[in-house]
Amino acid sequence: MYKIKNDSVIKMLSERKEIFWENTYKEIYKGIDISREEIFEAENRIQRFALFLNKSFPELLQSSGLISSPIKGISKIKKNRNLPGKIFLKMDNMLPISGSIKARGGFYEVLKHGEELAIRNNLLNTNDDYSKLINLKSFFNKYSISVGSTGNLGLSIGLMGAKLGFKVNVHMSEDAKSWKKEMLRNQGVTVFEYKSDYSFAVESARELSKKDPNDYFIDDENSKDLFLGYSIAGSEIKKQLAELKISVNDEHPLFVFLPCGVGGGPGGITFGLKEIFKDNVHCFFGEPVESPSFFLGLYTQLHEKISVEDIGLTNKTIADGLAVGRPSGFVGKTLNTVIDGCYTCEDNYLTKLLKEFYYEENIFLEPSAVTGIKGVEIIQKSGYFEKNNINPENVTYIIWGTGGNLVPESIKKEYLNY
């Protein structure tokens, strides 16, 4: 048990309070161990797959095979809640095929693995028209991919992996929703179900994968490729803000609020944004009061060596995508001096916000996806603006809406009646 006696932040976390903490380990941004060239490489790789994606998924015809999401003003919520500055929702809930932020990291790592296998077996080179991959299903079917997930990562990897022809094994934690499992089984994906949490599902996937030389394990707790897939979002935001004629500079900073589970998604996006906007972008990770794993790991500097259970929390939350008790050590250590802060959010706030988004803005987001508004509210009272000499009215806020489009109608109704 971590010594909670004399530490006021740990005490508040263990009492399930909604709190904001400015990362005291933060330094002026001077890059991380991963280079910007690696983000460009990832972007180029996704670009190479555009023709394959375009021909494989009818919904990608419009976007010419590109996986990206719109950004949208949320004026009603801003007005009703009396929020300052310019506020936008980044709609990763609308990402094609899998309807969540996991499309970014998950698709990227599956495609990269497929590309490497095909090149190694002389079936592809990088100048080819990648739509030829459509005819390589029987080749890919000799190989499998495994992953542990609370739902959405499994969905992204399963749907993309199966499309290429891979056998896919998705190990689902008890939080995973049955409709996600069903959708995967309908695509021929093997779904393992556990009556345990996310960390256990990942561990089990890792162990089983080791026994099969033809299996590739996608490690949500440690994957640089997932991280790079997410980081591409940085240049997407840059382009979208430029189109809106919004500049980001010393006087007009950008604040981004990211729902956080294990840390890979928000971490990769933070990296992509910091490489572009440096210290003029401030990135904050939001978590449910019962699952503040990333917050706890960063705050104690113990990263993956501490879990929310260690301070008496249950890791039970309606925000299934954020139900992670132990954070990624890789992300925590890589971004230790980069992340600007962490905060927590109560479940009943999430269900309330979910309804506001639906009834006021006509946007359906899953519970995990709405923590951002809490961030905008909680930071106003935190002293962060005064301390950093920022006028809250000059800030552009981006709330990362991380999922929702695939949620079936009947389940949407359940959430809306919560």
Ligand X SMILES: *Cc1c(COP(=O)(O)O)cnc(C)c1O
Binding site for ligand X (CB under 6 A): 100-102, 152, 259-266, 321-322, 324, 366, 368-369, 402-403
Which CB, 209 or 222, lies closer to ligand X? 222
In whole angstroms, how close is the CB of 364 to ligand X at the nearest point? 12
| Residue 215 parent element (H or E) | strand 215-218
Radius of gyration of the chain from Cα atoms? Answer: 20
Which CB, 261 or 272, lies closer to ligand X? 261
Which CB, 324 or 342, lies closer to ligand X? 324
In whole angstroms, how close is the CB of 241 to ligand X at the nearest point? 22
Which CB, 54 or 150, lies closer to ligand X? 150
In whole angstroms, how close is the CB of 352 to ligand X at the nearest point? 17
How far is the C-alpha of 227 from the C-alpha of 263, rounded, in Å?
9
Residue, CB closest to ligand X: 261
Q: CA 146 → CA 40, 149, 190, 237, distances in Å?
A: 27, 10, 9, 31
In whole angstroms, how close is the CB of 324 to ligand X at the nearest point? 6
Which CB, 143 or 400, lies closer to ligand X? 400
In whole angstroms, how close is the CB of 225 to ligand X at the nearest point? 13
Is the Cβ–Cβ distance between 5 and 249 less than 8 Å?
no
In whole angstroms, how close is the CB of 115 to ligand X at the nearest point? 23
Q: CA 252 → CA 70, 246, 248, 395, 397, distances in Å?
A: 22, 9, 5, 6, 10
Nearest residue to 261 (alpha-carbon basis) of 230, 300, 217, 238: 230
Which CB, 165 or 259, lies closer to ligand X? 259
Nearest residue to 417 (alpha-carbon basis) of 353, 345, 351: 351
Which CB, 54 or 199, lies closer to ligand X? 199
Is the Cβ–Cβ distance between 52 and 133 less than 8 Å?
yes
How far is the C-alpha of 66 from the C-alpha of 241, rounded, in Å?
19
Which CB, 130 or 299, lies closer to ligand X? 299
Q: What angle do CA 350, 351, 353 make, to 5 degrees?
A: 65
In whole angstroms, how close is the CB of 375 to ligand X at the nearest point? 13
Residue 396 three-state SS: strand
Is the Cβ–Cβ distance between 343 and 378 less than 8 Å?
yes
* Amino acid residing at 148: G
In whole angstroms, how close is the CB of 383 to ligand X at the nearest point? 26
